[in-house]
Amino acid sequence: MNYFSSHFKLGILGGGQLGKMLLYETRKFDIHTKVLEASEDAPCKIACNEFVLGNLMDFDAVYDFGKQVDVLTIEIENVNLDALEKLEEEGVKVYPPTKALRIIQNKATQKLFYVDKGIPTADFSRFAYASEIEDAVENEALDFPFVWKAAQFGYDGQGVKIVRTFDDLKELPPGECITEKMIPFKNELAVIVVRNPSGQVVTYPVVEMEFHPEANQVEYVICPARIDENVAEKAQEIALNVSREIGHIGILAVEMFQTQDDKILVNEVAPRPHNSGHYSIEASYTNQFEQHIRAILDLPLGRTDSKVAGIMVNLVGAEGHTGDVVYENIREIMAMEGVTPHVYGKKQTRPFRKMGHVTIVNEDINEARRIAQRVKETIHVVSQ
Amino acid sequence: MNYFSSHFKLGILGGGQLGKMLLYETRKFDIHTKVLEASEDAPCKIACNEFVLGNLMDFDAVYDFGKQVDVLTIEIENVNLDALEKLEEEGVKVYPPTKALRIIQNKATQKLFYVDKGIPTADFSRFAYASEIEDAVENEALDFPFVWKAAQFGYDGQGVKIVRTFDDLKELPPGECITEKMIPFKNELAVIVVRNPSGQVVTYPVVEMEFHPEANQVEYVICPARIDENVAEKAQEIALNVSREIGHIGILAVEMFQTQDDKILVNEVAPRPHNSGHYSIEASYTNQFEQHIRAILDLPLGRTDSKVAGIMVNLVGAEGHTGDVVYENIREIMAMEGVTPHVYGKKQTRPFRKMGHVTIVNEDINEARRIAQRVKETIHVVSQ
């Protein structure tokens, strides 16, 4: 298929910020793009050739949209899988494949899959309703504290909670969920694996994530991770194993824990460009968005190593601020060495809402880390 | 002024490929953009917030457009300067300033300016009509061969010609022009200078340009230039001097000759992102498009040095091919190390038409140069 022709159409399910960054990269190759998205004022609208309004969970909306494109990809996992399956049967190239999405979309299914395939992961229990958790605790089948995760539709720090008391239990949404043992980890790590339909597979360097203690959101993503070479190798091997078993096409971001005794446990995966890969826009030879496009179009994959060290800082809404957003001191951080802000353009801020990210690149990772700290302390996402 | 607000509007005169690449960078800062352009199917259309159809040389079109924005910039020099002047008087921030554009827009004026300011440049003569050139040659005021340049509207290798015979003279367009002594140069060099309204000034490293012998178009731009340190310093000094005298805001690309005896002569300048800076997208800490945005919004300027060596190869239409474009062997070049194609999306190719560019980045400039050569020999821009 000639992707560099006006007859070819790439469809993207979801029109959010990830989709927008993906769309910029399609311009390098002049690919005709079409987006399906439920929100009229989605970020993608400015960057795609065609925009279709529709519900991503609706069979007909997804199926009808898919029939109009040659290759179909996603920027969010919550899409109608039955429609994708039918499209695949009818010859549309769906990347990642529906089979991979079925494993990933539901976190309980995802965890069972790891157990089934012998992939190391934290111990967990599945509950059809959150109300069953209380029984489990009372029957001593489960001990406080533990991590609760919604089986579906988790997003932006939502859908994950540390539960310490019966009171915490009362705040949980009612639906299907899992609980996980809390892992007293040394580091949270991630590896991006990329695969194209021809079978070429590449991995990005291991990155290290520092989390905000309360919001359960990543504060810093650091590439390369400051860990021992043999731990990094183990993390890459396990990520490749997950990738092989899931059989994804495109990007797969594999999040992992490095335990106190240097074991690697898979936490969860995302089958699309991911927050843990944003540093790649400035630091890598091939950024994750260009790489995803290369993969799903079955083009040769690009170099995954870095030109320089990269650190990403998430820009989230400050506590106590809700309303029209102001990026306080953004000029000050832009005066710092190797700093590029990415403002997503959401008009309203609220506590911990993901409003953008900032990348810091430097030849010296320790210098990058010092600048990242100053960025974090200087910029504030507040309301007017 | 708060640029990161929905009330702020950035206007761009011209909707071509340079404008499109500039627009991608505005997304990092979520800046509201508005483009004025004469062609309904301009590349910019997919990347701006608002698109206005209009002639850039028409006073009313430019003036009316300018009244609706806060900061006005250009992606092409051929715009109505009287309208810009009036807009400036009425408080619109026009960057580059009209005064700078008046010097640059007409090549005869530009050359006279260099002479006036003591900036070294090749000897030249100005002619109100090309027909006057023949008289000059016959009166021995001018010798073959020489370089002919149209005073205005040169573009893409058009508007420049080497004249060797009376026959060559017959093919020249009739209008105002200059003739220049041919400089037997060692190298063609360029330096990008960037200035913001607060007075911060930075320069990019000196790049080296290799030209196609016939088409008078750049084939390779190599950063850093493989020249002596003291020649590079001299080129940077002269570029800074040109920048200071012209008083531009934003990017100024200064093209120069390095003569056989290592003198530097200024060839010409462009007051906007420029082909000689495309390598910066992949190689520099801050690419030229982001830098231009930073400058015209009076934000702090970013680092101008490179993460790795970068070489740009222009993709131009092959001789003997006119019609629907095909990028022959584009997969093959994408399989080479550190290679990123930028396809501009023009549907029709013709000999020497600029259809895109390819960047090659590598830690080792000699390896980058070898790969660039292979890229050049492998990809062919042909018709179907």
Asked if A208 and A188 count as a contact pair (C-beta separation under 8 A), the reply is yes
Q: What is the pLDDT of residue A156?
A: 54
CA distance B354 to B119: 31
Give yes or no for a contact between A26 and A293, defined as CB atoms under 8 angstroms apart: yes
Q: Report the SS3 class of residue B229.
A: helix
A242 pLDDT more than 60: yes
Res B41: pLDDT: 85
Q: Which of A335, A341, A361 sits opposite B29 (nearest CB)?
A: A341
Average pLDDT over residues A371-376: 96
- Residues A206 and A225: beta-carbon distance below 8 Å: yes
> What sign has the CA pseudo-torsion A55, A344, A19, A319?
negative
**In chain A, % of residues over pLDDT 90:** 84
Binding residues of A: 107, 149, 180-183, 188, 267-268
Whether residue A340 and residue B49 make contact (CB cut-off 8 A), yes or no, is no
Query: Which of A156-165, A358-367, B371-380 is the least confident region?
Result: A156-165
- CATH 3.40.50.20 range(s) for chain B read 9-94
A343 and chain B: CB distance < 8 Å anywhere?
yes
**Any A CB within 8 A of B128 CB:** no
Q: How far is CA B375 from CA B221, B282, B360, in A?
A: 14, 16, 9
Residue range A211-237: mean pLDDT, rounded: 89
Residues of chain B with CATH 3.30.1490.20: 123-181
Is the pLDDT at A213 greater than 80? The verdict is no
CA B32 to chain A, closest CA, distance in angstroms equals 10
| CATH 3.30.470.20 location in chain B | 185-383
Query: B28 vs A330: CB contact, 8 Å cut-off?
Result: no
Inform me whether the pLDDT recorded for A209 exceeds 60: yes
- HEC string of B354-377 equals EEEEEEEEECCHHHHHHHHHHHHH
C-beta atoms of A47 and B28 within 8 A: no
Distance CA B154, CA B105 (A): 10
Model confidence at A279: pLDDT above 90: yes
* Tokens describing residue B258: 């390095």
- Type of residue numbered A149: K
Closest in B30, B302, B345 to A345, CB measured: B30
Helix (H, G, I), strand (E, B) or coil at A60: helix
pLDDT at A159: 85
Percent of chain A with pLDDT over 70: 96
What mean pLDDT do residues A307-324 have?
96
Q: Which helix (H) or strand (E) holds A50?
A: strand A50-53
Average pLDDT over residues A304-330: 96
Q: What angle do CA A52, A55, A57 make, to 5 degrees?
A: 135
Interface of A with B in 24-63 (CB under 8 A): 24, 27-30, 46-49
CA distance B232 to B237: 9
Q: Which of B6, B29, B298 to mutate to test the interface with A (most CBs of A within 10 A)?
A: B29
User: What average pLDDT is seen over chain A?
Assistant: 94
Q: For the segment B235-252, what is each residue's pLDDT rounded down to a tens digit?
A: 999 999 999 999 999 999
pLDDT bucket at A171, cuts 50 / 70 / 90 = confident
Distance in Å, alpha carbon of B185 to nearest chain A alpha carbon: 34
- pLDDT at position A6: 65
Chain B contact present for A299, CB below 8 A: yes
Cα gap B95→A362, rounded to integer Å: 30
pLDDT of residue A46: 86
CB pair distance less than 8 Å for A303 and B337: yes
* pLDDT exceeds cutoff 90 at A211: no
What does the alpha-carbon distance between residue B263 and residue B239 come to, in Å, rounded to a whole number? Answer: 13
Tell me the ipTM for this assembly. 0.92
Looking at residue B178, its pLDDT comes to 95
Q: Nearest by CB to A343, which of B30, B339, B343?
A: B30
pLDDT for res B1: 58
Domain B185-383 has CATH 3.20.20.10: no
pLDDT (0 to 100) of residue B155: 59
Q: What is the pLDDT of residue A22?
A: 95
* Class of the domain covering A123-181: alpha beta
Distance in Å, alpha carbon of B64 to nearest chain A alpha carbon = 24
* Per CATH, domain A9-94 is 3.40.50.720: no
Alpha-carbon gap: B322 to the closest alpha carbon of chain A (Å): 16
> What pLDDT is stored for residue B46 in this prediction?
86
Identify which of B26, B6, B68 has the alpha carbon closest to the alpha carbon of residue B273: B26
CA A282 to chain centre: 18
pLDDT tens across A103-133, in order?
A: 999 999 999 999 999 999 999 999 999 889 9
Contact yes or no for B28 and A341 at CB 8 A: yes
State the smallest CA–CA distance between residue B263 and chain A in angstroms: 34
Torsion angle of alpha carbons A77, A190, A173, A213, nearest 10°?
-150
Residue A150 DSSP SS3: strand
Separation in Å, CA of B223 to nearest CA in chain A: 15
Local confidence band at A216 (pLDDT 50, 70, 90 cut-offs): low
In which residue ranges of chain B is pLDDT below 50?
Answer: none
User: Is pLDDT of A23 > 80?
Assistant: yes
Q: What is the mean pLDDT of residues A27-44?
A: 92
CA dihedral B33, B34, B35, B36 (to 10 degrees): -160
- Under 8 Å CB pairs connecting chains A and B tally to 85
Residue A95's pLDDT band, with cuts at 50, 70 and 90, is very high
Choice among A165-179, A202-216, B319-333 with the minimum mean pLDDT: A202-216
Q: Which residues of A touch B285 (CB under 8 A)?
A: 338, 361
Binding residues of B for ATP: 107, 149, 180-183, 188, 267-268
What the block records as the tokens of A10 is: 């790439």
Residue of B nearest to A300 (CA): B335
